[in-house]
């Protein structure tokens, strides 16, 4: 069965085509700058185990035009892997916010689409383009089963102690104000890999997803019991441009005393804070380069980023009442050994003991970077959200 995975953003469209159930990737790519000048498609094709990469520069007016271009590439005799649209039996869509309505992957119906629209207010930057990707895919692949995989679903196992806020209860019951958590697809994927590696289905794990967006999850026996992000994807850890946890009184001070509008404050906390606000750079590679050049702001940003992660390791270890492993994943978590060392520094009393030599080595597979005999395993596991979406889509449609 061929399954297409789509991750639709406001001006981008990530895609990957899998042959299931053997999980063989056939094609993947990114449609970038949709509706903007300089639109491009980066397309990768796997033939005979070799990856071929193509860069196509072409105007792409909207998501429908983008998906049509992707369909052309998938059917191209040189670049593609199918001969007709009908070969794709199912499409798995990443949907960021599923609220309390969706605790698992689900087949998309008109009722499901209506509920996704109702959740626009909880994820205004993400759910609208996710929804748009669904409607476009329905038109281009009318015979394929459409499946929604929600970022928030993995965290629906959290108990009320973890997801409730200390606000009037009608805000929860009537307005849905609670912690939902995000990056669930990534946390679920790497935690499954970790449990298998540890050969312990009841292991207590802290998953640390560090990319441009960052989050951590406390996982007990494969279930999320707490996570760093809340109602939206802005809380918790310091991120590329997001502030993470702050005192809410800062928001009211800026609005009531300093004359900022709520829109301006939202823009600052979402797009002008985090590493960017602290150092002037949103990309961790640029932050590290600036540190090498003696930039004190960049050094503070790097240390503060790690410090916040350490605080969550402490709190989540308390929530789990023990710890068997921590898992580093996503772009920074997988590829920045210095950040892993900064996070693990001085954490011996938690049983977290990093082996600097193992930590400095690079592989593309799951690896252990802790000292021999360390009470807590330190694992680096490459995430693959697209494969997780493909797996969950396959499980739904084959029933």
3-state SS of the chain is CEEEEEEECCCEEEEEEEECCCCEEEEEEEEECCCCCCCEEEEEEEECCEEEEEEEECCCCCHHHHHHHHHHHHHCCCCCCCCCHHHEEEEEEEECCCCCCCCCCEECCHHHHHHHHHHHHHCCCCHHHHHHHHHHHHHHCCCCEEEEEECCHHHHHCCHHHHCCCCCHHHHHCCCCCCCCCCHHHHHHHHHHHHHHHCCCCCEEEEEEECCCEEEEEEECCEEEEECCCCCCCCCCCCCCCCCCCCCHHHHHHHHCCCCCHHHHHHHHHHCCHHHHHHCCCCHHHHHHHHHCCCHHHHHHHHHHHHHHHHHHHHHHHHHCCCCEEEEEHHHHHHCHHHHHHHHCCCHHHCECECHHHHHCCCCCCEECECCCCCEEEEECCCCHHHHHHHHHHHHHCC
In a domain, 175, yes or no: no
Residues 262 and 113 grouped into a single domain:
no
CA atoms within 13 Å, Cβ hemisphere of 194: 34
pTM: 0.89
The count of domains in the chain is: 2
Residue for token pair 């300093």: 258
Residues 270 and 353 grouped into a single domain:
yes
Residues 213 and 358 grouped into a single domain:
yes
Q: Are strands 204-210 and 214-220 parallel, antiparallel or unpaired?
A: antiparallel
Is 346 marked within a binding site? no
CA 383 to chain centre: 9
Residues 132 and 244 grouped into a single domain:
no
In a domain, 86, yes or no: yes
Is 211 marked within a binding site? yes
In a domain, 282, yes or no: yes
What is the rounded distance in angstroms from the CA atom of residue 316 to the CA atom of residue 322? 9
Is 244 marked within a binding site? no
Is 284 marked within a binding site? yes
CB 131, CB 115: distance < 8 Å: no
Last residue of a domain, one of 89, 115, 150: 150
Is 322 marked within a binding site? no
Catalytic sites, residue numbers: 151
- Domain that residue 61 falls in: 2-150
In a domain, 161, yes or no: no
In a domain, 174, yes or no: no
Q: What is the CATH classification number for the domain harbouring 58? A: 3.30.420.40
Last residue of a domain, one of 150, 165, 186: 150
Is 14 marked within a binding site? yes
Last residue of a domain, one of 90, 124, 150: 150
Per-residue pLDDT of the chain (399 residues; tens, 9 = 90+): 999 998 887 677 889 999 999 888 899 998 888 888 888 999 998 876 788 899 999 898 888 888 888 888 888 888 888 888 888 999 999 998 898 888 889 999 999 999 999 888 877 777 888 888 898 889 888 999 999 999 999 999 999 999 999 999 999 999 889 999 999 999 999 999 999 999 999 999 999 999 888 999 999 999 999 999 999 888 999 999 899 999 999 999 999 999 999 999 999 998 899 999 999 998 899 999 999 999 999 999 999 999 999 999 999 999 999 999 999 999 899 999 999 999 999 999 999 999 999 999 987 789 999 999 999 999 999 998 899 999 999 999 987
Residues 275 and 135 grouped into a single domain:
no
Is 49 marked within a binding site? no
In a domain, 189, yes or no: no
Is 80 marked within a binding site? no
Residues 98 and 209 grouped into a single domain:
no
Residues 377 and 247 grouped into a single domain:
yes
Residues 223 and 335 grouped into a single domain:
yes
Residues 137 and 214 grouped into a single domain:
no
CA gyration radius, the chain: 21
Residues 19 and 110 grouped into a single domain:
yes
Residues 333 and 217 grouped into a single domain:
yes
Residues 271 and 376 grouped into a single domain:
yes
């Amino acid at each position: 069965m061929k399954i297409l995975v789509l991750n639709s953003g406001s001006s981008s469209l990530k895609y990957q085509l899998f042959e299931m159930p053997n999980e063989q990737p056939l094609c993947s790519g990114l449609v970038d700058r949709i509706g903007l000048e300089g639109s491009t498609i980066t397309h990768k094709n796997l033939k005979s185990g070799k990856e071929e990469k193509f860069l196509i520069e072409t105007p792409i007016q909207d998501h429908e035009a983008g998906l049509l271009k992707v369909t052309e590439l998938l059917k191209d005799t040189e670049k593609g892997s199918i001969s007709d649209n009908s070969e794709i039996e199912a499409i798995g869509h990443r949907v960021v916010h599923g609220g309390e309505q969706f605790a698992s992957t689900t087949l998309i119906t008109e009722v499901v689409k209506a509920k996704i629209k109702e959740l626009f207010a909880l994820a205004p930057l993400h759910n609208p383009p996710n929804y748009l990707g669904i409607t476009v895919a329905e038109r281009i692949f009318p015979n394929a089963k459409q499946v929604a995989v929600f970022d928030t679903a993995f965290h629906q196992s959290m108990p009320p102690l973890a997801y409730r806020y200390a606000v009037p209860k009608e805000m929860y019951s009537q307005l849905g104000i609670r912690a939902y958590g995000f990056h669930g697809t990534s946390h679920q994927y790497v935690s499954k890999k970790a449990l298998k590696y540890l050969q312990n289905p009841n292991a207590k794990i802290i998953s640390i997803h560090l990319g441009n967006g960052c989050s951590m999850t406390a996982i007990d026996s494969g279930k999320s019991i707490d996570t760093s992000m809340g109602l939206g994807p802005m809380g918790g850890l310091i991120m590329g441009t997001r502030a993470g946890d702050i005192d809410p009184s800062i928001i009211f001070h800026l609005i009531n005393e300093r004359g900022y509008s709520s829109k301006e404050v939202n823009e600052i906390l979402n797009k002008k804070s985090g590493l960017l606000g602290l150092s002037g750079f949103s990309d961790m590679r640029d932050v590290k380069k600036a540190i090498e050049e003696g930039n004190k702001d960049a050094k503070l940003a790097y240390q503060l980023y790690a410090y916040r992660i350490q605080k969550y390791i402490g709190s989540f270890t308390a929530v789990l009442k023990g710890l068997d492993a921590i898992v580093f994943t996503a772009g920074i978590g997988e590829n920045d050994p210095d950040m892993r060392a900064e996070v693990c520094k001085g954490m011996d009393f938690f049983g977290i003991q990093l082996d600097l030599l193992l930590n400095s080595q690079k592989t593309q597979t799951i690896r252990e970077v802790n000292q021999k005999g360390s009470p807590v395993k330190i694992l680096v596991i490459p995430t693959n959200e697209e494969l997780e979406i493909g797996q969950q889509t396959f499980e739904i449609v084959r029933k």
